[in-house]
């Protein structure tokens, strides 16, 4: 179902926590992406951010209780008409009420009447998040099909720090977009250990300059976030990115192709699947200057390059039985061969199970929220994705990986 004018209709429920102000950024992301957003704050949330702010940012009236516009039956209609419900911040109190099915305010009624995907983005102190009552409530909500994101770790109110911080707005938004594409929230990767690489490596020329590429890491981070939402134990090896780390994901930062190779091969030793979404440099300078190379009137000395080690080939060479390996190929059309034909040749040469092929360029794929790709399988399968969000491609990649695991091997 879609909201008014065909735009996906999103209910943004705001809980009564200090992180309520961060929901304004999430609202902006939804609104600028063409979603029809209706904000439903709790009474406590309005003590942190006032009703005029939500109305101005959403462009819709803000309802706070079941007695407003009674003739429209908002306590039923809002939930029935929603394509997605997102609760951010989801406080311990709010999740406890949701787990018990309480309907003492408008947001509680919406949660009971909604038949669309529901996302809870928790925010609370560490002790509250780790309390057995909260853990039981989270388990109950997940068992009923709701997506409860893992909170981020970091500075909380006062001097406290630890898990319980509201996930970054961009991460919540990515999870929401993925659910609009793939409504099922089944934790079908639970019990699996996966490794994802992301970003673009940099090969130093001197202490200042490097050889690099345009990769932002968006696709790799979307893959890591999707795997974590689906229950996997995720290690993300990321090169030179500035994207917030998805909650529940273990980050291993690297810079060069050699560092990427060491980190990925090490993590892959216990992994059920490895997805090489990083753009790893093919070449590096033979020599690295110890000091900055100065600009002079003379012509610069030629830059001699050598090949870097191929990480995907090394992964295939050391693969464990049952391990699924996924490569990425960023291609541009050649005079005699198209992008998909180039991908088929690379799939055969590398020996991986799946290869995700993108046509790239200065205005395509790199550092863009959307992508257009085809997933090629060594067994002859072919799955198209896009044009559409990178989160949607991430879900299709994990669906394809899941199909290659024996059901009994967990």
Based on the fold, state whether residues 213 and 163 are members of the same structural domain: no
By CB neighbour count within 10 A (0-12 exposed, 13-18 middle, 19+ buried), where does 352 fall?
buried
Domain endpoint, select from 154, 181, 208: 181
pLDDT digits (tens, 9 = 90+) for 309-353: 999 999 999 999 999 999 999 888 888 888 899 999 999 999 999
Please compute the mean of the pLDDT values over residues 145-151 and round it to a whole number: 88
110 domain-assigned = yes
Question: Domain check: are 176 and 197 in the same one?
Answer: no
Lowest pLDDT segment from 64-68, 136-140, 171-175, 214-218: 64-68
Residue 409: what pLDDT?
46
Residues 158 and 214 in one domain: no
HSE-CB of 378 using CA atoms within 13 angstroms: 17
> Predicted confidence band at 184 (pLDDT cuts at 50, 70, 90)?
low
pLDDT at res. 75: 59
Last residue of a domain, one of 134, 161, 181: 181
297 and 385 both lie in a single domain: yes
pLDDT digits (tens, 9 = 90+) for 24-35: 999 999 999 899
> Which of 4-8, 64-68, 160-164 is most confident?
160-164
Q: Which domain holds residue 352?
A: 193-405
Looking at the fold, whether 312 and 351 belong to one and the same domain comes out as: yes
**The pLDDT of residue 361:** 64
- Nearest 5 degrees, angle CA 407-CA 396-CA 152? 90
Quote the pLDDT of residue 78.
Answer: 87
DSSP string, 153-209: EEE-STT-EEEEEPPPHHHHHHHHHHHHH------TTTT-EEEEEEEB--EESSSS-
Query: pLDDT > 90: what percent of the chain?
Result: 64
The answer to whether residue 311 is domain-embedded is yes
Give, in order, the Cα–Cα distances in Å from 235 to each of 70, 160, 167, 315, 360: 50, 26, 18, 15, 26
Residue 408 has pLDDT above 70, yes or no: no
Please check whether residues 12 and 132 belong to one and the same domain: yes
- Per-residue pLDDT of 261-271, as tens digits, reads 999 999 999 99
Is the pLDDT at 70 greater than 60? The verdict is: no
In a domain, 410, yes or no: no
How many domains is the chain partitioned into structurally? Answer: 2
293 shares a domain with 271: yes
pLDDT of residue 410: 42
Residues 130 and 205 reside in one and the same domain: no
- Give the pLDDT mean for 47-57: 95
Residue 319 belongs to a domain: yes
Catalytic residue among 109, 137, 213, 240: 213
Counting every residue written for the chain, the total comes to 410
Residue 109 annotated in active site:
no
pLDDT score at 2: 44
If 0-12 CB within 10 Å is exposed, 13-18 middle and 19+ buried, where does residue 295 land? Answer: exposed
Please give the Cα distance from 331 to 337 (Å, whole number).
11
Structure token pair of residue 136: 């039981």
Q: Which of 146, 181, 216 is the last residue in one of the domains?
A: 181
* Radius of gyration in angstroms for the set of CA atoms belonging to the chain, rounded to a whole number: 23
Domain harbouring 177, CATH code? 3.40.50.1950
Residue 308 covered by a domain: yes
Its pTM stands at 0.74
Q: 254: domain CATH number? A: 3.40.50.10300
Q: Would you state the pLDDT for residue 5?
A: 44
pLDDT at 1: 38
162 and 199 inside one domain = no
Q: Which of 154, 145, 140 is nearest to 114 (CA)?
A: 145
Q: Are residues 123 and 212 in the same domain?
A: no
pLDDT tens digits, one per residue of 250-299: 999 999 999 999 999 999 999 999 999 999 999 999 999 999 988 887 78
Choose the weakest-confidence range: 38-52, 60-74, 115-129, 163-177: 60-74
Using one digit for the tens of pLDDT, what is the confidence trace for 366-391? 767 788 899 999 999 999 987 888 88
Q: How far apart are the first and last CA of the chain?
A: 36
Q: Which of 112, 114, 178 is nearest to 149 (CA)?
A: 178
| CA 281/CA 213 separation, integer angstroms | 8
Looking at the fold, whether 397 and 333 belong to one and the same domain comes out as yes
In a domain, 187, yes or no: no
Q: What are the E-state strand segments in 176-334?
A: 193-199, 203-204, 210-211, 233-239, 249-254, 273-276, 283-285, 305-307, 324-331
Contact 166, 122 (CB under 8 A): yes
**pLDDT value at position 143?**
87
Report the distance separating Cα 369 and Cα 314, nearest Å.
Answer: 30
Q: Is residue 188 part of a domain?
A: no
Let me know whether 261 and 389 are in one domain.
yes
pLDDT of 74 strictly over 60: no
Token pair recorded at residue 52 = 């005029």
To the nearest whole number, what is the mean pLDDT of the chain? Answer: 89
């Amino acid at each position: 179902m879609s909201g008014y004018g065909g735009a996906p209709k999103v209910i943004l429920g705001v809980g009564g926590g200090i992180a309520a102000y961060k929901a304004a950024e999430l609202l902006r992301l939804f609104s600028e992406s063409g979603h029809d957003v209706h904000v439903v704050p709790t009474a406590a949330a309005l003590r942190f951010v006032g009703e005029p702010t939500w109305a101005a940012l959403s462009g819709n009236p803000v309802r706070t209780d079941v007695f407003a516009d009674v003739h429209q039956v908002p306590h039923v209609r809002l939930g029935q008409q929603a394509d997605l419900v997102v609760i951010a911040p989801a406080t311990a109190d709010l999740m406890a009420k949701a787990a018990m099915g309480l309907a003492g305010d408008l947001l509680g009624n919406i949660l009971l009447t909604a038949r669309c995907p529901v996302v809870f983005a928790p925010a609370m102190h560490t002790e509250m998040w780790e309390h057995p009552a909260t853990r039981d409530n989270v388990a109950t909500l997940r068992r009923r099909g709701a997506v409860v994101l893992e909170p981020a770790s970091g500075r909380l109110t006062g001097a406290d720090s630890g898990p319980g911080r509201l996930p970054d707005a961009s991460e919540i938004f990515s999870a929401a977009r993925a659910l609009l594409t793939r409504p099922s929230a089944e934790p079908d990767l639970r019990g699996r250990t996966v490794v994802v690489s992301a970003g673009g490596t940099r090969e130093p020329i001197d202490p200042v300059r490097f050889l690099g590429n345009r990769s932002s890491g968006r696709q790799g981070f979307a893959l890591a976030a999707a795997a974590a939402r689906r229950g996997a134990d995720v290690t993300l090896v990321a090169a030179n990115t500035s994207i917030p780390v998805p909650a529940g994901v273990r980050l291993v930062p690297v810079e060069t192709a050699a560092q990427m190779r060491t980190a990925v091969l090490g993590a892959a030793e216990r992994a059920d699947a490895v997805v090489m979404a990083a753009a790893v440099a093919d070449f590096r300078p033979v020599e690295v200057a110890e000091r900055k190379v100065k600009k002079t009137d003379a012509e610069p000395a030629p830059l001699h390059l050598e090949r870097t080690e191929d990480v995907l080939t090394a992964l295939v060479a050391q693969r464990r039985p049952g391990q699924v390996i996924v490569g990425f190929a960023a291609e541009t059309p050649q005079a005699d061969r198209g992008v998909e034909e180039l991908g088929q040749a690379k799939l055969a040469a590398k020996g991986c199970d799946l290869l995700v092929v993108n046509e790239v360029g200065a205005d395509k794929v790199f550092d863009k929220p959307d992508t257009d790709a085809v997933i090629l399988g060594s067994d002859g399968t072919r799955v198209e994705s896009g044009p559409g969000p990178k989160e949607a491609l991430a879900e299709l990649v994990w669906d394809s990986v899941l199909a290659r695991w024996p059901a009994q091997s967990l």
